[in-house]
Amino acid sequence: MRAVTAAPPSRVERPLATAVLVGIAALAPIAVDIFLPSMPAMSREFGASEGTVSLAVTLFIVAFAGAQLFWGPLSDRSGRRPALLAGLALFVGGSLLCLVAASIPVLLAGRVLQGLGGGVGPAIANAVVIDTYRRERAIGVLALITLSIALAPMIAPVFGGIIQEYASWRVVFIFQGAVGVLLAAAFFLLVPETNRNPDPAALRPRRLAANYRRLFRSRTFVTAALLMGLLFAGQLIFISTSSFVLVDDLGASPLGFGFAFGFVSFGIMAGATVCRRLSRRWPPGRIVLTAAATGWAAATVMVGLAASGAASLPATVIPAFLILAGNGMARPAATATALGEFPEIAGLASAVLGFSQMALASGASIGFAAAVEPGPGTLAGGMFAASSAALALLLLGRPPALSLRAPAPGTDVAGATGRPTPPSPPRR
């Protein structure tokens, strides 16, 4: 195993550099959601069906998910900066292709390029955090990233709607390209290279296979990946079902649905804020277990109310808020712990964690939609099943790195596993 030398406490720990990492992680959700208000206008201009135009969202997400598995190991091989800048260049190129698109196929090709480039964001941002910070600070910064990812879907459609109202859908892609250029310039100027020991063989098939085996033999990593996928599955079930349940079954107006959905989404931000505050005092295992138990308790109440015939807007929205708050609270601590076992392949580990979370959650959400009709009871049952599975997984398979005991003073992210941490300069 290669020796690991932690990055010195340099410019990367300054607030502006942290803000750049947060922005990079939020780029993909911004690119998805700022585009939504323009879809009807694009459908009219190109004479295409709404289903065809919606492929611009689906293809972006598929490309984004898969691209992480390339950018992560590339950053282990060549460094975080070259990989990040190459990914952002591809994102900007995709934005320009969408801008000049004269047909739907060209537009879809541009969105695929955007997704392939956007996949660099979470993989590199998380890896830079693990390269740089001790455990409690890593959890705090990852909580900020979680906040940004939750906030982007709430704000981006507003900006997209304003642009569509006063300009056109093409300006949306000018904005996206400009954001990509701005983030690339800010990263180049503010964030130094944090991968101090790049591995020239990181992309070779034999080394990749060995590194994948290391990841999936780790009880900590596998538990965290499954846990995050299950928690995200409950979130996707709510996202895909809530409009039918809240409007058609519970009588919310479109405006009321917007406020209710925003309130539930705010739960992720509230949970991430709590996690950030607790990260200096609680070990990650206690944070994750508290978060999972909170989500399960709320889901139990939600399904009990639905089963008793007491389903209502508050009886659905308030428990859902608490479930998503548990998600936002668990994610940063679980991510920091899982990635902390593999500082020398943090890029690959971050990519696999992100991809597996999206794959598991998407599969569960699609299966749920195919199996049941939307309703207060099925929504509650789906979120209860996901929350119960997550809590059971944590209780039955919790590895030592997610124990409830605090690690020894001075232990960093990797040190939470009990392995000796290589000497490094003191970090904040």
Asked if pLDDT for residue 22 goes beyond 80, the answer is: yes
pLDDT in tens, 338-383: 888 898 899 999 999 989 988 898 888 888 888 888 888 999 999 9
What contacts 373, CB < 8 A, 6 or more positions away?
A: none
Summarize pLDDT for 122-175 with one digit per residue, the tens. 889 999 998 887 766 788 888 888 888 888 877 888 888 888 888 888 999 999
Rounded Cα distance between 173 and 155, Å, is 16
Q: Quick one: pLDDT at residue 204?
A: 92
User: What are φ and ψ of residue 70, in 5° steps?
Assistant: -95, -50
Q: Give the model's pLDDT for residue 288.
A: 93
Indicate whether this model's pTM tops 0.85. no
What does the pLDDT average to over 239-257? Answer: 83
Q: Is the pLDDT of residue 384 over 60?
A: yes
Q: Are residues 389 and 361 in contact, defined by beta-carbon separation less than 8 angstroms? A: no
Domains of the chain: 11-203 (1.20.1250.20), 213-407 (1.20.1250.20)
Distance between CA 360 and CA 364 in Å, rounded?
Answer: 6
What would the 3-class secondary structure string for the chain be? CCCCCCCCCCHHHCHHHHHHHHHHHHHHHHHHHCCHHHHHHHHHHHCCCHHHHHHHHHHHHHHHHHHHHHHHHHHHHHCHHHHHHHHHHHHHHHHHHHHCCCCHHHHHHHHHHHHHHHCHHHHHHHHHHHHHCCHHHHHHHHHHHHHHHHHHHHHHHHHHHHHHHHCCHHHHHHHHHHHHHHHHHHHHHHCCCCCCCCCCCCCCHHHHHHHHHHHHCCHHHHHHHHHHHHHHHHHHHHHHHHHHHHHHHCCCCHHHHHHHHHHHHHHHHHHHHHHHHHCCCCCHHHHHHHHHHHHHHHHHHHHHHHHCCCCCHHHHHHHHHHHHHHHHHHHHHHHHHHHHCCHHHHHHHHHHHHHHHHHHHHHHHHHHHHHCCCCHHHHHHHHHHHHHHHHHHHHHHCCHHHCCCCCCCCCCCHHHHCCCCCCCCCCC
Based on the number of CB atoms within 10 Å of its own CB, is 166 exposed (0-12), middle (13-18) or buried (19 or more)?
Answer: exposed
User: Residue 31's closest CA among 103, 98, 129, 82?
Assistant: 98
pLDDT bin (cut points 50, 70, 90) of residue 50 is confident
Does residue 190 carry a pLDDT above 80? yes
Instruction: Please give the average per-residue pLDDT across 238-264, as a whole number.
Output: 83
Distance CA 145, CA 273 (A): 11
